[in-house]
Amino acid sequence: MDAIIIGFMGSGKTTVTQLLAEKLNVKFMDLDSMIVQHLGQSISDFFKSNSEEEFRAVETEVLKQSVNLKGILATGGGTPIYNVDVIKDMDLPVFLLDAKDETIKSRLNQDTGRPLVNQLGLDGIIDLKHQRDAIYNELSNHIIFTDDKTPLEVANQILEILRR
86-122, pLDDT tens digit by residue?
A: 999 998 999 999 999 999 999 998 776 777 888 888 9
Q: What is the pLDDT of residue 34?
A: 96
First-to-last alpha carbon distance for the chain, in angstroms, is 17
b/e map 80-97, b = 16+ CB within 10 Å = bbbbeebbeebebbbbbb
Other CB atoms within 10 Å distance of the CB of residue 3? 23
pTM for the model? 0.93
